[in-house]
A = this chain, B = another copy of it.
Amino acid sequence: MSGLERLSLNQITTKRWSLPEAVQGCVDAGIPAIGLWRDKVAETGLTEAAARVRDAGLTVSSLCRGGFLTADGPGTRQAALTENIRALEEAAELGTDTLVMVVGGLPEGSRDLAGARHRVADLLAELAPHAGDHGVRLAIEPLHPMFCADRAVVSTLAQALDLAAGHPPQQVGVVVDSYHVWWDPDLPRQIERAGPRIASFQVCDWTLPLPADSLLGRGHVGDGHIDFRALTDQVTAAGYTGWIEVEIFNERIWDTPGEQTVRTVIERHLTHVHGS
């Protein structure tokens, strides 16, 4: 279908689907790319998963996710390194050039935010050359500040770009996810600054009220408060020509049949994003 050339379905959006079902769902709907999750890949098996997407002719726009780099102490540090190198290998095997990095929150009982952020920078420096070796880019995802304590101490695009700045652009980039950054008064300037560092553009909408589990409050593009036309224009003006990946965490959407969700995803993409 015309207008879907840059659309990717992040498979969390159709969470109840297995990886083979999500691949088939994309093929049936004419969506040319898919964002994969490591747990779903593991369910199917890495080799089988890679074969499924390749045989279906889909591009893997990203693998979610590496990260969790804030843990303190030498044992957990080494474990995080090992786990992220494994994620890089999986990304390479799946044929994607983008590993989404959610950097992790404060360790249990810690209030040392500056320290946690320092450890992220430190581990990232160790990981970057490995990313280069695998031809995969570490895509640092700033998460909405409401996730700072428990999920990601990287909270703004500026901060992600500061972290990326010390590394080659082909090794470390950033994710622009509408849900996490839309509120930022400095966003237009930081998107412009990001330029070739933009490794992934993810979209979903900010809807209210937030549900009891604030992780699951995201809506279909067009259902909330974000101006996707303006945001897409900014990302495009910064030189990004890559995938536009729809990633939605929402229990109600997860309970909707996948085919219906995919139809909504396509409709909203054509209405609110495509053509910007």
Contacts and interface: CB of A to CB of B under 8 A. Distances in A.
A211 interface: yes
A214 B225 contact: no
Given A144-B145, A225-B106, A227-B111, A184 B212 contact: no
A248 to B, nearest CB: 17
A112 B208 contact: no
A154 to B, nearest CB: 8
A113 B227 contact: yes
Interface residues of A, number: 36
Nearest to A145: B183
A210 interface: yes
Interface stretch (A45-53, A63-71, A155-163, A191-199): A155-163
A148 interface: yes
- Count copies of this chain in the complex: 2
B225 A184 contact: no
A208 B213 CA distance: 10
A206 interface: yes
Contacts of A150: 208
Given A146-B144, A183-B155, A214 B210 contact: yes
Contact of A156 (B106, B117, B185, B225): B185
A209 interface: yes
A233 interface: no
A225 B145 contact: no
Given A113-B183, A148-B206, A150-B208, 9 more contacts: A111-B227, A112-B227, A117-B185, A145-B145, A149-B208, A149-B225, A155-B183, A158-B185, A159-B186
